[in-house]
Each structure stands twice: as C-alpha cells, then as structure tokens.
Amino acid sequence: MSIKVTLTEKEILETPNDMMLGELTRNKYWQARRDHEGPQYDDEHFGIIIGEDGLVKSIVRPYRCSICGGDTSEVEYDYLVGYDHLGCVLKQEDENLNTLDKCVLCGKETAYLRSTHVDMRIGYVEGSGQLCMDCYNK
Ligand SMILES: [Zn+2]
Ligand SMILES: [Zn+2]
C-alpha cells in the first residue's frame, strides 16, 4: 500500500511554520488512508482521533484479539475479524450456539440450544423469546 499526500504550493507557503506544516501533512495522510482503506475504519475496533478542527489526527489500531487477548499485529488480514483472530471468533460463535437459551421470564435454562430454530421449539414467544416449561405452562 502506498499513500500519496499532496501538499499544494499555497499550503506550503501559507502555513506559518514547519510544525504546522508537518501536522497538516499528517492530517492529510490519515484522511487519505481512511479514504483508501474504506469502511473498515468504521469498525468498532478502530478508534479515530479527531482534532478540534475536525480532521483525523490519528487512528488507534489496537492489534489485539479481544477474545484471547493475543497480539494480532503479525496476523494476516484474511485471518482477522476486525482485530480478533478469525479462529477465536468462530469458536466463540460456536460456543454461543451451543449454550442453552435462558427463559426470558425466570432466567432458568430451557431445553433449547441457541442454535435451535424457533419453529422447532415449544414455548418460544415471538418478540420476547424463549420461556421455560414452568413459565410457559402458567
Ligand atoms: Zn484470539
Ligand atoms: Zn421460566
């Protein structure tokens, strides 16, 4: 990836000092990079630091899997979901699907896995969720 930042003659001549020019350049870089890399920066895993002038100052990239806590800076993008390991995310989804749904009224575990389709269940109330047999029979 190569990002080119264009500074105009006007910007160079009219920016009062090198520090501000540097800042301007950096802003342009992050703006360009955000445009270049697209909507992934809207992902919750990214923090965008926006200055008072409304320009992007920098982007915080945590490079850390939120599930196992491991460093993901060396992991290829294809194997990441945001900054989480793809494997960790899939495993977590699996575990979620394999836990029993809880009764929306009393909180007790029901007989149904989360992965069970609602059409296959008894005691599922549309719009609210699964009831246990005790609550359903009341
Ligand atoms: Zn992980
Ligand atoms: Zn219940």
| Segment 59-99, tens digit of pLDDT | 666 678 888 988 888 888 889 888 889 999 999 989 888 99
Place of tokens 């699964």: 130
What percentage of the chain carries pLDDT values higher than 70?
A: 88
CA of 81 to the centre of ligand 1 (A): 10
CA of 89 to the centre of ligand 1 (A): 8
Q: What is the pTM of this model?
A: 0.43
CA of 92 to the centre of ligand 1 (A): 10
Place of tokens 């703006």: 31
CA of 88 to the centre of ligand 1 (A): 5
Ligand 2 is an ion; residues with CB less than 5 A from it: 103, 105-106, 132, 135
Quote the radius of gyration of the chain (alpha carbons, Å).
Answer: 25
* Residues 21-39 as b or e (16 or more Cβ within 10 Å = b): bebbeebbebeeebeeeee
Are residues 72 and 64 in contact, defined by beta-carbon separation less than 8 angstroms?
Answer: yes
Question: Which pLDDT belongs to residue 116?
Answer: 92
